[in-house]
Amino acid sequence: MKLNTVSFLLVMLFGGFSCKDSTPVTPGIPTPTMFFAKGADVSWLTEMESTGIKFYSSTGTQTECMQLLKNLGMNSIRLRVWVNPAAGWNNTADVVAKAVRAKALGMKVMIDFHYSDTWADPGHQTKPAAWAAQDVATLQTSVHTHTLAVMNVLLSNGVTPDWVQVGNETNDGMLWPEGKASTNMANYAKFFIAGYNAVKTASPTSKVMVHVSNGYDNALFRWNLDGLKANGAVWDVIGMSLYPSTANWGTLNSQCLTNMNDMVARYGSEIMICEVGMSWDQAATCNSFITDLIAKVKSVNNNKGVGVFYWEPEAHNNWQGYTLGAFDNSGKPTLALNAFN
């Protein structure tokens, strides 16, 4: 086809014609690729390694665990922080050692502050022993000081956390009894704000997360987050846990999607599923569950669904009584984790 002068100029200006329909192709700014976190909480890893446990690829090649997860498609690592744990695991030094390893692999890092010397979850929010006698104002200072100190050690070791949870599964608040949300929502908010401010002081780019379990429970999330908001708290990300059975995962995934979209409409926040798990010996069903959940999170309105994390997939051989990992008893990943690749 012979081009006249005008057509030639259009070609030069707009980059040519579509071969299909001769419609001018208007140049545009490339759409940035949204980062979607596919990750795992591996906080048990150093403790497991200390007992001689090793990990293997599906073909039997011994492989460092984080590298193995990266090979399976994961790009992020989540690590819990305890204040003064009796055995030392999950204290600041242990967390930093694991975070440095993740960073060296090019993986993003999420830090999960429990504000306890041990597990914090919907049924347990026990204050650290050193904080046991403190009043509300002093507890706020302790939250701020602890958070800032851990963040600064991470930063000094070259790790800037991408996400930071202020509290773990704080369905009914944190630092009980003072911060129990059902009896004193204002104190819960004060403690959350203290942690939020400490994170932002150390690392303004780190996104702060409020984490509530049972991602399918819209009423719980509205009550908790409305209460925080009414008492002056702000956050960047809403974190959810989701642990369905093999029988109800489809229903809970659908309910979780409804809840995620409601959270986006209500608060404008990004949403992340930061804990999932299913029995290790139901790998095929778990694969279907996670594959469907990742698709649903990616479909959240306004591109606000930003990631899915498996909780302690490396746990196997009934490690500490936990059976919802995603490795078999020979230390190899199960089919479940193929959902991340």
**Least confident residue range of 19-33, 84-98, 215-229, 317-331:** 19-33
The pLDDT value given to residue 196: 98
213 neighbors 122 (Cβ within 8 angstroms): yes
73 and 8 part of one domain: no
Per-residue CA distances from 36 to 110, 273, 298, 302, 331 (Å): 13, 11, 8, 14, 27
Name the helix (H) or strand (E) containing 40.
strand 37-41
Residues 82 and 110 grouped into a single domain: yes
Does the pLDDT of residue 46 top 80, yes or no? yes
Same domain, 211 and 149: yes
DSSP codes of every residue in 252-315:
HHHHHHHHHHHHHHHH--EEEEEEE---TT-HHHHHHHHHHHHHHHHTSGGG-EEEEEEESTT-
- Of all residues in the chain, what percent carry a pLDDT higher than 90? 90
Which has more confidence, 280 or 17? 280
5 and 57 assigned to the same domain: no
| 8 Å CB contact between 70 and 107 | yes
Are 202 and 275 part of one and the same domain? yes
Note the pTM of the prediction, 2 decimals. 0.90
Residue 169 bears catalytic tag: yes
54 closest CA partner among 68, 43, 41, 40: 68
In a shared domain, residues 59 and 191: yes
Q: What is the pLDDT of residue 90?
A: 98
State residue 208's pLDDT score: 98
Please indicate, yes or no, whether residues 126 and 106 belong to a single structural domain of this protein: yes
Is 270 one of the annotated active-site residues of the chain?
no
Instruction: Label residue 201 by pLDDT band (50, 70, 90).
Output: very high
Overall number of domains in the chain: 2
Q: According to the model, what pLDDT value does residue 89 have? A: 98
Is 38 in the same domain as 22?
A: no
Contact status, residue 258 vs residue 266, Cβ threshold 8 Å:
no
CATH number at residue 258: 3.20.20.80
Report CA 28 to chain centroid distance, whole Å: 33
Domain that holds residue 13: 1-30
Per annotation, catalytic residue among 47, 49, 64, 169: 169
How is residue 326 written in tokens?
């995603």
Asked whether residue 42 falls in the same domain as residue 20, the answer is no
* Mean local confidence (pLDDT), 117-142: 98
pLDDT at residue 32 above 80? no
246 shares its domain with 268: yes
Q: Which residue among the candidates 270, 275, 312, 314 is catalytic per the annotation?
A: 275
Q: Are both 13 and 118 inside the same structural domain?
A: no
Please report the pLDDT score of residue 33 as a whole number. Answer: 57
Average pLDDT, the chain: 92
* Average confidence (pLDDT) over 222-237: 98
Is a pLDDT exceeding 80 seen at residue 5?
A: no
Do residue 199 and residue 263 come from a single domain? yes
